[in-house]
Amino acid sequence: MSFELPTLPYAKDALEPHISAETLEYHHGKHHNAYVNKLNELIKGTEFADMSLEDIVKKSEGVMFNQAAQIWNHTFYFNGFSPEGGGEPSGVLAEKIADRFGGFAEFVTAFNQLAAGTFGSGWVWLVQKEDGSVDLVNTFNAGTPLTDGLTPLLTCDVWEHAYYVDTRNDRGAYLKNFWNIVNWDYVAGNLK
């Protein structure tokens, strides 16, 4: 099996002014694509050649894990946006967020604090735990909640390449933009 770069569910300029077409050209078209190409090289002739991407993430380590997990993380990240996004979640997701954080505003504050405080390269995740509740976790480098038995609902890429073209080194401005394009229907659809 060979993996292909997943197509974006929107045009490259559709998230402007929050994320520019130039950022997506580099972040999706170059970074994400490089992980796909490298993983395809690594799996040739190995036990991983016919596995799903999630299985490779869960069963590999080292360089292969890094490539597979970065493909999975980035695909999940890009799918979490919509040009019509933003606002607040509703229904069961909103209830779970309120139960855990006290309300949506408190959730956003906690998420932003974790994202702003993540040193170096990593990810911030809203996850669903096995008991059905939600929580925040962060992972570093290619880390993903998939390997910890958690269900990812939403993620924010805090590697500098996710925002440097648009906001330079201002991660706070990037986070402000992030909330304007979150696709809450996608996030809620990840609930189990």
Q: Treating both helix axes as pointing N-terminal to C-terminal, what angle do 104-117 and 171-178 enclose, rounded to 10 degrees?
A: 150
Q: What is the pLDDT of residue 131?
A: 98
Number of Cβ within 10 Å of residue 1's Cβ equals: 10
Which residues make Cβ contacts (< 8 Å) with residue 120, sequence separation at least 6?
A: 140
- What mean pLDDT do residues 11-25 have? 98
According to the model, what pLDDT value does residue 33 have? 98
**pLDDT tens-digit profile of 108-147?**
999 999 999 999 999 999 999 999 999 999 999 999 999 9
Which domains are delineated in the chain? 21-79 (1.10.287.990), 91-189 (3.55.40.20)
Q: One-letter amino acid identity for 167?
A: T
| Mean pLDDT of all residues belonging to the chain | 98
* Share of the chain residues as helix, strand and coil, in percent rounded to the nearest 5: 50, 10, 35
CA distance 142 to 118: 14
| DSSP-derived pairing of the beta strands 134-140 and 151-157 | unpaired
pTM to 2 decimal places: 0.97
* Residue with the two structure tokens 């999706």: 28
3-class secondary structure, 125 = strand
pLDDT in tens, 153-182: 999 999 999 999 999 999 999 999 999 999
DSSP letters, 45-112, are TSTTTTS-HHHHHHH--HHHHHHHHHHHHHHHHHHTB-TT--S---HHHHHHHHHHHSSHHHHHHHHH
pLDDT, mean of residues 58-75: 98
